[in-house]
């Protein structure tokens, strides 16, 4: 069992996810910082295969009085991501045209709102929701957590 400080409000699976989450919470008025960033989550349990400690990379609230607010924001975001994913799955896959090579590719609905690589030329593709193009303006990290205006 991993013992975490009570100020830890989020455990990321990557440094990008941790930095994005800390910045998002700070933008929402809850100052946060990434802990153990130089050791990718701490030397104990550091894995050579993944590069991230078994502890993950923690995001801590700087003011302990703001912990409930940060937990609420993270919880609301997670619920929103799951709700969007469920709605997307009901719509089915989406077709995207690459701006670079003009090739058409089909992506699963679970990737709507993310940035993927074109399987034809390797260019970056924004996977937009054909029913809501504004969703394509956001991006997500590899594990599905949104990174634009939410963690």
The answer to whether residue 87 is domain-embedded is yes
pTM: 0.56
The answer to whether residue 144 is domain-embedded is no
Place 84 in a pLDDT band, splitting at 50, 70 and 90: confident
98, pLDDT greater than 60: yes
pLDDT, tens digit (0-9, with 9 covering 90-100), for 1-32? 677 889 999 998 888 889 999 999 999 999 99
The answer to whether residue 96 is domain-embedded is yes
Backbone angles phi, psi at 80, to 5 degrees: -65, -40
In total, how many domains does the chain have? 1
Percent of the chain with pLDDT over 70: 74
The answer to whether residues 122 and 103 touch, using CB atoms and an 8 Å cutoff, is no
Copy the structure tokens of residue 4.
């975490």
pLDDT, tens digit (0-9, with 9 covering 90-100), for 121-146? 999 998 887 766 554 344 444 444 44
The answer to whether residue 14 is domain-embedded is yes
The answer to whether residue 148 is domain-embedded is no
Domain that holds residue 36: 8-137
CA distance 40 to 61: 18
Query: How far, CA to CA in Å, does 29 sit from each of 52, 56, 73, 75, 92?
Result: 28, 24, 11, 16, 37
Place 46 in a pLDDT band, splitting at 50, 70 and 90: very low
The answer to whether residue 101 is domain-embedded is yes
Residue 116 DSSP symbol = E
The residue among 72, 74, 138 whose CA lies nearest residue 146 is 138
Give Cα 88 distance to the centre of its chain: 17
């Amino acid at each position: 069992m991993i013992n975490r400080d009570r100020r830890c409000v989020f455990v990321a699976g990557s440094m990008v996810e941790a930095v994005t989450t800390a910045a998002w919470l700070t933008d929402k008025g809850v100052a946060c910082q990434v802990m153990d960033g130089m050791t990718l989550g701490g030397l104990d349990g550091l894995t050579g295969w993944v590069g991230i400690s078994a502890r993950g990379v923690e995001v801590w609230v700087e003011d302990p009085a703001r912990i409930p607010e940060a937990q609420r924001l993270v919880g609301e975001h997670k619920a929103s991501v799951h709700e969007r994913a469920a709605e997307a799955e009901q719509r089915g896959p989406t077709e995207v045209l690459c701006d670079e090579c003009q090739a058409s590719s089909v992506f699963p609905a679970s990737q709507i709102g993310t940035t993927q690589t074109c399987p034809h030329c390797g260019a970056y593709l924004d996977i937009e929701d054909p029913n809501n193009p504004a969703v394509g303006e956001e991006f997500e990290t590899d594990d599905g957590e949104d990174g634009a205006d939410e963690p």
